[in-house]
Structure formats: C-alpha cells, structure tokens
C-alpha cells in the first residue's frame, strides 16, 4: 500500500509559478513510476509529467503542453515535486499525484497507476 499526499496548489496570475509537492509513504520501495496528472472540469484526466523512480537516471517524461515550463523531480525520500513556471489559464485544473507499483506500458495513461492522492487545485487567472 502507498499513501500520497499533495500540497502546494493555489491561485496565481498568468505567467506566475507554483510548486506542487507529494509526500509518499508506505510501501514506497514497490514504486516504479510517479506522476502528476491533472483534470479540468468536463475533461479527462491527463498525464502531465512522469518520473521513472527505479531508473538510475530518474528518466522523466512530459506532455507536449507543458514541456519547457514544468519540471518534475523526486527526492530520495520519495517526495515528488512539480515546478510549474510560465503558467497559463489553460493549466487550471485539479492536480493529482500518482504512483504505479508495476511496470506500465504507457506512462501517460491514468489507469496504469494504482495509487492516487486526493488532489490539489491550481487556478491560473488571465
């Protein structure tokens, strides 16, 4: 069992920055991937940024919409971060931290992840 608790959401104007955190506890040694997903009202949950936790180089993957603006990182105490810069109104969503304890085929697919946090709201105004 893995528990995930997000923090750091909030409201910011376009062009601003926020940093999300996700504290992981429990059977963290079983985690293969950690990720940030987001879901806007009326839209499907989408993968934003992923880190391969067991990779020696901690390989990272980004959705095209956030490349160059968002940075995912993971401490060796299994705290996951998402640094979000140059925020846009279209980044407004509920952001979730997720963990997969098995190898996944598509890192951007929500159903591949079996543990989720409760979500933290990010609101970007124009």
Concatenate the DSSP letters of all residues of 9-74 into one string: -EEEETT--EEEEEEEEESGGG-SEEEEEEE-TTS--EEEEEEETTSTT--EEE-GGGTTTEEEEE
How much is the pLDDT for 103?
Answer: 84
* Per-residue pLDDT tens digits for 80-105: 999 999 999 999 999 999 999 998 89
The model's pLDDT over 43-69, given as tens digits with 9 standing for 90+, comes to: 999 999 999 988 778 899 999 999 999
**C-alpha atoms less than 13 angstroms from C-alpha of 8 in its C-beta half-sphere:** 19
Q: What's the pLDDT tens digit per position in 3-46?
A: 999 999 999 999 999 999 999 999 989 999 999 999 999 999 99
CA-wise closest residue to 23 among 96, 78, 99: 78
Residue 65 has a pLDDT of 97
For CA atoms 104, 49, 65, 67, give the dihedral sign: negative
- Say how far apart CA 87 and CA 113 lie, in whole Å: 26
């Amino acid at each position: 069992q893995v528990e995930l608790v997000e923090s750091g959401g909030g409201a910011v104007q376009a062009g601003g920055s926020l940093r999300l955190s996700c504290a992981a506890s429990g059977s963290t040694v079983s985690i293969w991937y950690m990720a940030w997903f987001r879901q806007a009202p009326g839209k499907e949950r989408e993968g934003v940024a992923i880190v391969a936790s067991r990779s020696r180089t901690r390989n990272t993957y980004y959705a095209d919409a956030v490349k160059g603006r968002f940075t995912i990182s993971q401490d060796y105490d299994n705290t996951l971060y998402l640094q979000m810069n140059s925020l846009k109104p279209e980044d407004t969503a509920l952001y979730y931290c997720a963990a997969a304890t098995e190898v996944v085929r598509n890192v951007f697919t929500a159903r591949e992840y079996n543990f989720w946090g409760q979500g933290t709201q990010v609101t970007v105004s124009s």
